[in-house]
Amino acid sequence: MDDGGFELLLNLQSLTDEELRELADRLAADEKEISKRRRLLHAQIDILRAELVRRLKAKHDEGAALVKDGDISMLVDILSGKTRKSSTGTEGS
């Protein structure tokens, strides 16, 4: 949809039947493309998570610690909105 999309929707009475059909078709095509992109992103996320799980299992099988010193306090800081200074002296996000 063009930049004035919502304005166009507010003035539906001014559109012809053909313009309404074209607008509906365009919006349906946009939705289809967005839906396709969302499915691809979810597939990528699933693949990344599976790899992370595989690596954690491998570390566990090797006897490596899955939680390192400072992980819990860093998680608490993240969840509470606090930031820590990184080793370069800049604020973390």
Euclidean distance between CA atoms 65 and 75, whole angstroms: 17
Which residue do the tokens 């509906």 mark?
Answer: 24
pLDDT given for residue 85 in this prediction: 57
18-74 pLDDT, tens digit each: 999 999 999 999 999 999 999 999 999 999 999 999 999 998 899 888 777 888 888
**Is residue 1 scored above 70 in pLDDT?**
no
pLDDT given for residue 69 in this prediction: 80
**Is residue 7 scored above 70 in pLDDT?**
yes
Euclidean distance between CA atoms 75 and 66, whole angstroms: 14
Tokens describing residue 8: 């166009």
Domain ranges of the chain: 5-80
Model pTM?
0.56
CB 49 within 8 A of CB 23: no
